[in-house]
Copies of this chain bind each other. A is one copy, B any other.
Amino acid sequence: MAPKWRVLADKLAEEIRLGEQGKYPPGAQLPQIRELVEDGEGSKSTVHQAYKALEAEGLVTSSRGHGTVVRQRVPLKRLGVARYDKAKWRDGDEVAFIADRVASGRSYRRNEQTQTVSRIEAPPLVAAAHGLPDGAEVYARARVVKEGDQPTHTLTSYYRPEHVEGTRIVDPTPGPAGRGGGFKVLYDAGYEIDHMKEQIFARPASSDEVKLLQLPPGEPVVELHRTTYTASDTVVEFAIGVHAASRFAWEYDFEVPDSAKREKGQ
């Protein structure tokens, strides 16, 4: 026998998932807690627990004074490898992430990215990615990227000092590292990026991340580890991104490998 709050939550969830045809389309208000208490669905705590479950499943958001409302399904922003197109940042002056936003028809505003740069001892993961010994120092360039007032993700890039010392990439001025962004700076310094590895996984958000990214309770995050190489396989950037899961999808095209044929790498 499922608990009472589960039964109630499932009943409401089913109606919510019907969408526009259902009793609770996106934007609709769920009954107030005290209402369902009077309907005999249980005590206030029990109904509250059901509402918390729906919130954790990403179906509703609750707020004091407003009530409990069915969440709108916003389309996921698709991130393809085209966002790294050299033509954008090498020949023009666009930063990769901004070019991406322009392409998707959203308005561009300045200061949607805050940045702090510091020289630190490399965390183990970072040292490993760069092939550095434990305790080596790196530059960390941490950004919080916002869309309007809403933070969407953090992105922290780690560089080896000998690659970036003296460039404007380590100038702690806010903003997207000047014209062209970080890849342009590396390019001008003689390190042209050539290929990348991206690793992706999801996990629950920590309470710090819930605060920083203003996540709805229960929303997971996607962590992205990006390693960027020159043509000679030198790692010039290792970056860690933490993304609000409900806002992004990643897209990759590739050929089916065939190790019997030794024509191409992969």
Contact = CB atoms under 8 A, between A and B. Distances in A.
Nearest to A207: B10
A204 B266 CA distance: 33
A133 interface: no
A260 interface: yes
Given A6-B207, A222-B201, A254 B195 contact: yes
A201 B244 CA distance: 10
A210 to B, nearest CB: 9
Contacts of A196: 253-256
Contacts of A9: 207
A125 interface: no
A218 B204 CA distance: 7
Interface residues of A, number: 56
Given A250-B199, A251-B198, A87 B222 contact: no
Nearest to A225: B249
A195 B257 CA distance: 9
A57 B255 contact: no
A58 B251 CA distance: 27
B254 A58 contact: no
Contact of A220 (B204, B207, B258, B266): B204
A256 B82 contact: no
A245 B201 contact: yes
Contacts of A10: 207
A19 B119 CA distance: 25
A252 B197 contact: yes
Among all A-B residue pairs, the 5 with the closest Cβ atoms: A202-B202, A220-B220, A201-B249, A202-B245, A86-B258
10 contacts: A10-B207, A13-B207, A85-B257, A193-B256, A195-B255, A199-B251, A201-B245, A203-B220, A204-B219, A254-B254
Interface of A: 6, 9-10, 13, 45, 53, 56-58, 76, 78, 81-82, 84-87, 90-91, 193-207, 218-222, 228, 245-246, 248-260, 266
